[in-house]
């Protein structure tokens, strides 16, 4: 299920996501969003709504104070050294972290923080792509292709000729994913670090 897309633009991270809840051949359009603010982060999840609920309402990592000490925060190191250990502990407390043959696994989601876009994989590795965009979920291949194609040119609206906004670009990618993936369904929601909240929502 799911398609989450993210894009870095002018020092801010934008995420957008769909509303599909899928189990076998059943589909429900969910009211609870897959993209949300968490302190200075924006997060967009796939894998499980249960994991998303734990992230949104139970996860309380040590929030780095970018404003207080911007020169001493290296976002990738923070993600690996602080964010991931707190995530593993929270998922275990919530009954979601799995262990098989001594190998732990969780879920997959995008994280925007300090103008950087990260992807947390189910094995708890942190990815930061060279591209300024990323995606996750069953609609990922379609969305990635759409983002690469749109951003390769000068993104404009075909009808008006006006430049596309960041939200337009993300929604276009989600519409492409919805067209070709049975596990993606609107309505689509969008969040950005320009609207960041401090502390748990």
Q: What is the pLDDT of residues 80-103, one digit of tens each?
A: 999 999 999 999 999 887 777 666
Is the Cβ–Cβ distance between 181 and 3 less than 8 Å?
yes
**Does 143 map to a domain?**
no
Question: For residue 144, is it within any domain?
Answer: no
Strand, helix or coil for residue 18: coil
What is the total count of domains within the chain?
1
User: What does pTM read for this prediction?
Assistant: 0.90
Q: What is the DSSP letter of 126?
A: E
Q: pLDDT tens for residues 31-53?
A: 999 999 999 999 999 989 999 99
Residue 24 sits in a domain whose CATH number is 3.60.20.10
Q: What is the mean pLDDT of the chain?
A: 90
Handedness of CA 178, 183, 185, 189 (dihedral sign): negative
35 located within any domain: yes
* Residues 6+ positions from 159 with CB-CB distance below 8 Å: none
Q: Does the residue 150 lie in any domain?
A: no
Residue 123 located in a structural domain: yes
- Where in the sequence is the domain holding 31, given as residue range(s)? 4-62+72-136
Q: Is the pLDDT of residue 197 over 80?
A: no
- Would you place residue 200 in the very low, low, confident or very high pLDDT band (cuts 50, 70, 90)? very low
Whether residue 198 has pLDDT greater than 50: no
Q: Is residue 184 part of a domain?
A: no
Q: How far apart are CA 177 and CA 132, in angstroms?
A: 19
């Amino acid at each position: 299920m799911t398609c989450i897309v993210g894009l870095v633009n002018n020092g801010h991270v934008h995420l957008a996501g769909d509303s599909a809840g899928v189990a076998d051949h059943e589909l429900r359009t969910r009211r609870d969003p897959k993209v949300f603010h968490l302190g200075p982060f924006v997060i967009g999840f796939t894998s499980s709504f249960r994991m998303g609920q734990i992230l949104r309402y139970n996860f309380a990592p040590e929030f780095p104070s970018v404003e207080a000490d911007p020169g001493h925060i290296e976002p990738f190191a923070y993600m690996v050294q602080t964010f991931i250990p707190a995530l593993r502990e929270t998922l275990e407390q919530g009954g979601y972290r799995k262990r098989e043959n001594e190998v732990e696994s969780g879920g997959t989601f995008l994280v925007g923080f300090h103008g950087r876009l990260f992807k947390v994989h189910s094995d708890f590795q942190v990815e930061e792509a060279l591209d300024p965009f990323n995606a996750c979920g069953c609609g990922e291949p379609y969305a990635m292709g759409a983002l690469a194609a749109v951003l390769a040119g000068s993104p404009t609206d075909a009808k008006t000729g006006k430049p596309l906004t960041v939200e337009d670009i993300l929604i276009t990618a989600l519409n492409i994913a919805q067209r070709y993936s049975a596990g993606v369904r609107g309505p689509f929601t969008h969040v950005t670090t320009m609207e960041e909240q401090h502390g748990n929502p």
